[in-house]
């Protein structure tokens, strides 16, 4: 059977840090894949004594949702106190409107085709895969949305045999990117496989430290603030990845605009 992985709700944690009249806000989404829960992340956040700054935070908390919410709240607080946008404080490029990908969740090919038809005017569709029906699912999405650009996320669900079978089909259909085809502990499999479609690391890439083992295996990395542990590390990861020849995808968990805003930076 196919598991329907769509979601219509998410539990998020919001952090607020006050300094006089100024309040900094941050948000994170605990991720079960990394053993995080609302309770465990809350405990991590509450374990930090104030005052604290972004640099100290990198040393006392590991990458993850808790550090992300605190780090983003601290940057928001600093921006409000200084009267400057965060992108200036971090020497980043001024953010501008950008095209984002709409995600089609893993379901039956019929349901995925119907969803693609509804969104056939969207510029980019990100298709969730990872079942034995991936060929039928991607063909259904393409039929439902013949003109959209398509990227896929295999969610660590493929074997070498699956990869070798599907990639030529995906190439013919026009798939432009494949995200995390194998489990993160099997990254080495990519070293000897034919590369006709760029491959993006998601679960295999968290922070700068994780980059070293990905060089020569992946073409893109997916930066998510909840994985990196905040905007401080994400900005560092962005710069380091570019220097090492990686292209960049920016991703997110299912959160609110409070979580999306720092990711846009």
d(CA 175, CA 121): 17
DSSP state at residue 92: P
The helix or strand, by DSSP H or E, that contains position 16, with its residue range, turns out to be: strand 13-19
Q: Which whole-number Å values give the CA distances from 111 to 8, 118, 129, 179, in the listed order?
A: 16, 11, 13, 22
Selecting among 111, 126, 128, 132, the annotated active-site residue is 128
The contacts of residue 258 (CB under 8 Å, 6+ apart) are 14, 25, 26, 27
- Are the CB atoms for 176 and 149 separated by under 8 Å? yes
Cis check for the bond before 145: say yes or no (omega within 30 of 0).
Answer: no
* Nearest C-alpha neighbor of 115 from the set 91, 148, 154: 148
Selecting among 224, 227, 242, 243, the annotated active-site residue is 224
- Are the CB atoms for 68 and 28 separated by under 8 Å? yes
Q: Tally the C-alpha atoms within 13 A of residue 243's C-alpha that lie toward its C-beta.
A: 9
Question: Does residue 224 have an active-site annotation?
Answer: yes
User: Would you state the structure tokens that stand for residue 59, as one six-digit string?
Assistant: 């040393």
DSSP per-residue string spanning 152-194: EE-TT---HHHHHHHHHHHHHHTEEEEE--S-GGGGGGGGGS-
Question: Does residue 128 have an active-site annotation?
Answer: yes
Residues taking part in catalysis: 128, 224
């Amino acid at each position: 059977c196919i598991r329907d992985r769509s979601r219509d709700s998410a539990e998020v944690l919001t952090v607020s840090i006050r300094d006089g009249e100024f309040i900094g806000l941050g948000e994170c989404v605990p991720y079960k894949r990394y053993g995080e829960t609302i309770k465990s992340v809350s405990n991590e956040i509450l374990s930090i004594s104030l005052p604290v700054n972004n640099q100290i935070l990198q040393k006392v908390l590991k990458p993850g949702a808790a550090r992300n919410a605190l780090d983003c709240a601290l940057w928001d607080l600093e921006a409000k106190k200084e009267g400057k946008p965060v992108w200036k404080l971090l020497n980043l490029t001024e953010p501008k409107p950008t095209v984002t990908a709409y995600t089609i969740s893993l379901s039956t090919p019929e349901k995925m085709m119907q969803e693609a038809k509804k969104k056939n005017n969207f510029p980019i569709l990100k298709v969730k895969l990872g079942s034995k029906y991936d060929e039928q699912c991607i063909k259904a999405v393409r039929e439902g949305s013949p003109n959209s650009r398509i990227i896929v996320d295999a969610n660590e669900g493929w074997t070498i045999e699956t990869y070798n079978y599907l990639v030529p089909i995906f190439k013919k259909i026009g798939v432009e990117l494949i995200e995390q085809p194998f489990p993160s502990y099997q990254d080495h499999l990519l070293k000897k496989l034919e590369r006709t479609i760029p491959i993006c690391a998601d679960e295999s890439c968290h922070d700068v430290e994780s980059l070293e083992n990905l060089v020569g295996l992946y073409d893109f990395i997916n930066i998510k603030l909840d994985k990196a542990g905040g905007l401080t590390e994400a900005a560092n990861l962005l710069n380091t990845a570019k220097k090492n020849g990686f292209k960049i995808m920016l991703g997110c968990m299912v959160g609110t605009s409070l979580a999306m805003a720092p990711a846009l930076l």
